[in-house]
Amino acid sequence: MVTKDFSIRINGTAVGPPADPRVSLLDLLRETLQLHGTKKGCDQGACGACTVLADGERIVSCLALAVQYVGRNVVTIEGLAGDDELHPLQRAFIEHDGFQCGYCTPGQICSAVGMAAEARRGVPSHVTPDLTVGEVELTHDELRERMSGNLCRCGAHNGIVAAIAETCAGERK
């Protein structure tokens, strides 16, 4: 018999869902769990600053009711790498100046991790010329389209695209 799991796994730790179903996953992370890496930008799904991974898929945590994520495995920017390590994308963002103020960065990085996984399994995008190809080559046009759900108001997009392009290319070598 399978035991029903009533908790949300967040960066590997089981967390009880909020008693009030109105609490967003974003507010659960920031207000209850004090995981402040995930940022609240627009709180309406437009900016991507609150992007986290749920079972490896990138989502905007501001439009997610936390109760809907019971039984799911959520990873935030704090859980991407080990305690004293950086994720390759975090290193690449530093290398390529992929930020200025840094507010959008955790969302950019979590989004890029999810995006890379989508491309690896062949999910096409709006700019993919041929829908039938198995694996998508992440050209700059593809990257810019696939990352359009993450805004950077400082205008660091060139560095962001460069950091993601380099990391994705490295993964494929």
Partner 1 sequence: MIPFTYTRAGDAAEAVRLAGRGDVKYIGGGTNLVDLLRETIERPAALVDVTGLSSAIEPRGNGGLLIGAAVRNTALAEHRDVRTRYPVLARAVLAGASGQIRNMATVGGNILQRTRCAYFYDTEGSRCNKRSPGQGCDAIDGFNRTHAILGASSSCVATHPSDMCVALAALGATVHLEGADGARTVPLTDLHRLPADHPEIETVLEPGELITAVELPPLAAAARSTYRKVRDRASYAFALVSVAAALEVDNGRVKEVRLALGGVAHKPWRAWAAETALRDGPATTRAFRAAAQAELAAANPLPDNGFKIELAIRTITAVLGELAGSDA
Member of 149, 154, 157, 166 binding partner 1 (CB under 8 A): 149
* Residue 58 found at the interface with partner 1 (CB under 8 A): yes
Task: Report, in Å, the least distance between residue 46 CB and partner 1.
Answer: 8
Strand partners, 8: 15
* Residue 63 found at the interface with partner 1 (CB under 8 A): yes
Member of 36, 91, 120, 144 binding partner 1 (CB under 8 A): 144
* Residue 7 found at the interface with partner 1 (CB under 8 A): no
Question: Would you state the torsion angle of the CA atoms of residues 151, 114, 55, 126, taken in this order, to the nearest 10 degrees?
Answer: 80
Are residues 97 and 65 in contact, defined by beta-carbon separation less than 8 angstroms?
no
Question: Would you state the torsion angle of the CA atoms of residues 39, 40, 46, 50, taken in this order, to the nearest 10 degrees?
Answer: 40
* Residue 121 found at the interface with partner 1 (CB under 8 A): yes
Which is nearer to partner 1, 89 or 97 (by Cβ)? Answer: 89
Burial of 169 (0-12, 13-18, 19+ CB in 10 A): exposed
Binding to partner 1 (CB under 8 A) within 71-110 occurs at: none
* Residue 122 found at the interface with partner 1 (CB under 8 A): yes
* Residue 20 found at the interface with partner 1 (CB under 8 A): yes
Task: Report, in Å, the least distance between residue 93 CB and partner 1.
Answer: 18
Q: What end-to-end distance do the CA atoms of the chain give, in Å?
A: 43
**What burial letters (b/e) apply to 19-30, b meaning 16+ CB within 10 Å?**
eeeebbbbbbbb
Binding site for partner 1 (CB under 8 A): 20-22, 24, 43-45, 48, 51, 57-60, 62-65, 67-68, 70, 111, 114-115, 118, 121-126, 128, 131-132, 144-150
